[in-house]
Amino acid sequence: MLNFDESSFGNSDLTAATGLASTTIQTWVNRGVLPLSAQQRNPGAGQKRIYSALEIARIAAMKALIDRGMAASSAGQLALRLERSPQTASGWRTALEHGASHIHVFVDGVDVATIYSGNDPRELGRIQSAFNEPTPEERRRLDALHLDQIRLGNGQRDRILSGLSRVPEWDTQIAANSAEIAALTKKVTIFDIGPEVHPVLEKLRQLERERTARAYTLWFIPKTAKGRVLATMEGRPVGAGPLWRRAFATLDDLQTGFTQAWPLPPQQMAAILRSLAAGETVQLSWSGDHPLTVAEQTLVSLGLTEQP
């Protein structure tokens, strides 16, 4: 089952699932329109961005809105509101977890009014009518606008019948009234982003299954520089698969990073550090004769990144 909150997908997973080019993603990041956390925007030197399924679904929603003609900045903000608006967060999460193939997003100006993950035309119409229903104050304004349209329209008609030219100012006012009437009676726009988001989640599930099936061995490789011992941790594939790697500036950094993500028995961690300090390459194992294999997910949790 796909864990929506765990950050376990890299840049290559994001591009594979969404079809977005890495240059497009970086352009959106540079422009500040891609809804990412501060850590993801600036992961640090030598580190790559890691995403959760929820974040990739949000990016897929942004792409779907852009494909429907929305500006990237507006699409990014609306995609963020899907997840964080009290009116929509539950519906958005439910639609994703249940694998909904239709996710109708009702957009009211710059906000998301509600989400409907069914596809019943009558229900869609009912929801839209409910949000479009004018308030008493709006109803009074609509009545005034309609009367003004009748007055201006009759005035232009009478001038034409009398052989007089139309009054440009009246035409301008008629157009402005029409725009205001539309804004008061058609408040929400519906976007069905399910056809784009659903395949992205299916691709992530496929990647998750493949990742779980891959096995890796962990190696610790020492390097001496300026009198200090540096270390590189490598995830080496058993059979097919990419190489994963992470470098550490000191052995203390290695111990801290490893302990936070996947604590080992203190005696085993100490033995690894002693071997590295002595310049020896170490393979992680439960005993000297039994190498330990781990899933790709473990490499991600340890902060390793896939090597191109």
What is the rounded CA–CA span in Å between residue 73 and residue 61?
Answer: 13
107-130: pLDDT as tens digits: 987 788 899 999 999 999 999 888
**Tokens (6 digits) for 244:** 């994963």
286, pLDDT greater than 80: no
* DSSP string over 209-261: HHHHH-EEEEEEEEEEETTEEEEEEEEEESSSS--EEEEESSHHHHHHHHHHH
Residue 107 φ/ψ region, left for φ over 0, alpha for ψ in the -120 to 50 degree band, beta for the rest: beta
Distance from first CA to last CA of the chain, Å, rounded?
28
- Greatest mean pLDDT among 70-79, 107-116, 280-289 lies in 70-79
| Average pLDDT rounded to a whole number, residues 243-268 | 89
User: In whole numbers, what is the pLDDT of the chain averaged over residues?
Assistant: 88
Of 76-80, 182-186, 277-281, 292-296, where does mean pLDDT reach its minimum?
182-186
Q: Which residue has the tokens 């004018």?
A: 134
pLDDT at site 170: 94
Provide, rounded to the nearest whole percent, the portion of the chain with pLDDT above 70. 94
* Residue boundaries of the structural domains of the chain: 11-113+193-207, 134-187, 214-306
CA distances to 52, 53, 231, 260, 261 from 6, in Å:
5, 7, 27, 15, 13
Of 57-71, 142-156, 293-307, where does mean pLDDT reach its minimum?
293-307
DSSP 171: H
CA distances to 27, 28, 62 from 20, in Å:
11, 11, 11
Of 27-36, 38-47, 90-99, 262-271, where does mean pLDDT reach its minimum?
38-47
What is the rounded CA–CA span in Å between residue 64 and residue 75?
Answer: 9
What is the rounded CA–CA span in Å between residue 51 and residue 29?
Answer: 14
**Tokens (6 digits) for 29:** 């990041």
pLDDT at site 44: 66
193-247: pLDDT as tens digits: 999 999 999 999 998 887 778 889 999 999 988 878 899 999 999 877 889 999 9
Angle at 51 between CA 48 and CA 56, to 5 degrees: 130
CATH class of 11-113+193-207: mainly alpha
42, pLDDT greater than 70: no
| Average pLDDT rounded to a whole number, residues 26-52 | 76
pLDDT at site 201: 95
